[in-house]
Amino acid sequence: IFARAEVAVITKTDLLPYVPFDMASVREQISSLNPNGTICETSSLKGDGIDGWVGLLNSRLEAKRQRQE
């Protein structure tokens, strides 16, 4: 499943200072499964990464609509 995923969304990044989570290791592992995949890091609390995530969704939706025409 993960090797075929085009996008990985890592949420709650605002909690990183408070939990034992190695973001660099996770990025490396995700990239090893799919080197062409996209990683989005988001925090709803702070709003970090939300614009990028929404932009990615919008661009993928637009591309899909164009393919259907």
What does DSSP assign to residue 20?
Answer: -
Confidence of residue 69 (pLDDT cuts 50, 70, 90): confident
Give per-residue pLDDT as tens, 32-61: 999 999 999 999 999 999 999 999 999 999
Secondary structure (DSSP) of 11-69:
--GGGGGGS---HHHHHHHHHHH-TT-EEEE--TTT-TTHHHHHHHHHHHHHHHHHHH-
Read off the pLDDT of each residue in 18-45 and give the average, rounded to a whole number: 95
- The model carries a pTM of 0.82
Mention every residue, 6+ apart, whose C-beta is less than 8 A from residue 44. Answer: 11, 12, 50
